[in-house]
Structure 1
Amino acid sequence: MSKIKICGLTRPEDIRAVNRWQPDYIGLVFAGRKRRVTPAQARTLRAALHPAITAVGVFVNAPIELIRQLWREGTIQWVQLHGQEDEAYIRALRACVRAPIIQAFSLQSRADVQRLQASSADLVLADHGGGGSGRRFDWSWTAYIQRPYILAGGITCQTIQEALRLRPYAVDISSGAETGGHKEEKKIQALVQCVRRRP
């Protein structure tokens, strides 16, 4: 059964919603503008998070020291990289952060799939690019992925069944769990229940 991650939580009510419906992972975004949280905000949200839910920190070309600090204090448990981080960056990160690493890739060509395949990250994430845009890439590229992957981009209550048929390790949902730019509990509930019901 695929797992589910709800990404881009910013408010206490978002945490209350995920605590009720129990996705496997949540994402705290430390980049961009729309869903960005400060380290202080993230600490508060993490402190209220149910212990069964894994907190993933989402970064774009961030200083490794920031990631190390957030991991050491327990604000994040996993690391997700959404920028141009290369293998040298991942090696340096592993040297000081003993957390699973997810690396995101925009899939638009066979070369993109090859880069994804070659990543030394613990998990890879296939996306349209940019993260949280709600845009979907051509999911047929996932047929060429020969390792566990997370599927992101354009997953909503209307498309999640199609996404789950691809048998990803997990689905990662941000804008698809929102109404008016904010997380909506009813959508979180529906998405989690769709994943849990599928064998």
Structure 2
Amino acid sequence: MTKVKFCGLSRQDDIRAANELLPDYIGFVFAPKSKRYVSENIAKELKSYLTPKIQAVGVFVYESVEKVANIANANIIDIIQLHGDEDEEYIKNLRRLTLKPIISALQLKTAADAEKANKIGGDYILLDAGQGEGKAFDWNLLEKVKRPYFLAGGLNEDNIADALMLNPFAVD
């Protein structure tokens, strides 16, 4: 069964709703330029209200390896999501500092991107049209992806049934 992730939670009301709806994952955005940004302290407080069976994902864009590892190792998050173009060396260095699983996000725009998705580091991959733009990409490209993926970007009430027919590991 496809798992569900709600991303961009930043208020206690968001956590209350998540605790009622019980998605598999929720996301805290630690990218300062995002309108959904939360500080480490706010995320820590929100996590304290989160039902333990929901895993918290921390979304980072070009953040230092040390800061990501510190937030992860403080158990503010359960999973790390890298949403920049962090390379294999970055992931290798991060793995030296934390045992938390890593989701590598990739913008899927071409067949070459789909091939890259099969090779990119990380325990999971997240495929998106961009960084929180709310737009869907050409889902036909998913035929070339040979590993489980989080499907993100532009999901709404009009296309979620079609998205689930693609059998993603999770929708975000």
Q: Which TM class, normalised by the smaller chain length?
A: over 0.9
2:134 alignment partner in structure 1: 134
Q: Distance in 2 between matches of 1:99 and 1:62?
A: 16
Q: Distance in 2 between matches of 1:97 and 1:162?
A: 36
Following superposition of structure 1 onto structure 2, how do residues 9-48 of structure 1 map, counting pairs within 5 Å? 9-31=9-31, 32-48=33-49
Shift of 1:33: 2.6
Following superposition of structure 1 onto structure 2, how do residues 27-176 of structure 1 map, counting pairs within 5 Å? 27-31=27-31, 32-130=33-131, 132-172=132-172
SS of the equivalent of 1:102 reads strand
Q: Distance in 2 between matches of 1:154 and 1:72?
A: 31
Q: Distance in 2 between matches of 1:17 and 1:156?
A: 18
Shift of 1:120: 2.1
Q: Distance in 2 between matches of 1:148 and 1:83?
A: 20
Matched AA of 1:55? A
1:6 alignment partner in structure 2: 6
Matched AA of 1:101? I
| Aligned residues: CA RMSD | 0.8
The 4+ residue runs of structure 1 with deviation greater than 2 A are none
Q: TM-score, normalised by structure 2?
A: 0.97
Matched AA of 1:24? D
Matched AA of 1:114? E
